[in-house]
Homo-oligomer: A and B are copies of this chain.
Amino acid sequence: MRGAVMYAPGDVRVENRDVPAIVEPADAIIRVAAACICGSDLWRYRGIEQLTGPAPMGHEYVGVVEQLGSAVTTLRPGDFVVGSFFASDNTCEICRAGYQTHCVNRRPGAATGAQSQLLRVPLADGTLVATPGQPDADLVPSLLAASDVLGTGWFAAVAAEAGPGKTVAVVGDGAVGLLGVLAARQLGAERIIAMSRHADRQKLAREYGATDIVEERGDAGVARIKELTNGLGAHSVIEAVGTQESMMQAIRATRAGGHVGYVGVAHDVSLPGEELFFSGVHLHGGPAPVRRFLPELIQLIWDRAIDPGKVFDLTLPLDRAADGYRAMDERTAIKVLLQP
């Protein structure tokens, strides 16, 4: 079986890997129909996050159930499924509260290695959601987006309490930020300010519902958001980068009593307590409980009410994964879809 493995920063190779097998009764084996490269994969690609050895890559996937463990009850072989990047039982108290990424039985790295032909998914009943039928080919990218970037952007918009009457600002114009725009729109936000200085991303942000574009960053970006909001700041700010600068930009662009939804994986971020205290904002985020939103998101995609698959502006065969990493690293592509 072919699969992508990162050996060192900048060194991704597609090679033969062992065919996965059912290990536990709750497992499923999926034949991957499409996988993709995540912004969070770039932390290791760029050497910011340490590699401890060759690492099978990928945690976003859609595919067809090939084989099921004896304990799986909600899926059948042949089902087309969308998975989330953490395996969860979806039955514990934390899952029932909608925080499946914090499931008491979660497997954080469980779906790792999704950039491959076959994938073992533990806790299949709690992790995978079957689509209503076999999807048309043009729906596959959107379903794949639901597996992580859409679910993450959606969670950020929910955490930021985007909704009717609200002005939402989005920090970060990667796939998650752009889909945060889409989510804010779907949730009924009145005004959506996308922060981006790239023409292609600005264009997609507008297609997804952005009403304003702000090109400035940092303090200048904050000042621009204040200008656009009567000096008060946005009601809701989505943070989809994960750096010190982007977090502070998000907090400072939010009005007192407003909400920051942050989903950029924080790296070397330290929040000054006193500034946070006097900001009066709400802060919520973390690894998105995508599983909470999957049934709703799959339905919206199935009904062609949303088209999150547009974030994939480069499609490559799995064997060219290395080119995909390069394109995302150099930002010549927003998001890369890999076909096994």
Contacts and interface: CB of A to CB of B under 8 A. Distances in A.
Interface in A83-110: 93-94, 97-99, 101-102, 104
Interface stretch (A266-274, A303-311, A316-324): A266-274
Interface in A251-274: 255-257, 262, 265-274
A93 B165 CA distance: 13
A277 B270 contact: no
Interface stretch (A10-18, A52-60, A284-292): A284-292
Nearest to A292: B257
A44 interface: no
Contact of A265 (B277, B279, B283, B284): B277
B287 A276 contact: no
Contact of A287 (B247, B266, B273, B277): B277
B97 A257 contact: yes
Given A94-B256, A99-B257, A271 B280 contact: no
Q: What DSSP secondary structure best describes chain A's contact surface? A: mixed
A231 interface: yes
A228 to B, nearest CB: 14
A93 to B, nearest CB: 6
A73 interface: no
A232 B94 contact: yes
A266 B257 contact: no
A74 interface: no
A163 to B, nearest CB: 14
A274 B266 contact: yes
Given A232-B94, A273-B268, A273-B270, A257 B102 contact: yes
State how many copies of this chain the complex holds. Answer: 2
Interface string A2-28: 000000000000000000000000000
A235 to B, nearest CB: 9
Given A104-B232, A232-B93, A232-B94, A99 B256 contact: yes
Given A271-B273, A277-B287, 13 more contacts: A93-B232, A94-B256, A94-B257, A97-B257, A101-B256, A244-B273, A262-B277, A269-B272, A269-B274, A269-B277, A270-B271, A278-B286, A283-B284
Closest 6 pairs (CB-CB, A-B): A269-B273, A102-B256, A266-B273, A99-B257, A271-B271, A280-B286
27 contacts: A93-B230, A94-B232, A94-B256, A97-B257, A98-B257, A99-B280, A101-B280, A102-B280, A242-B273, A265-B274, A265-B277, A267-B273, A268-B273, A269-B277, A270-B271, A270-B272, A271-B276, A276-B283, A276-B286, A277-B286, A278-B286, A279-B286, A280-B286, A282-B282, A282-B283, A283-B283, A283-B284
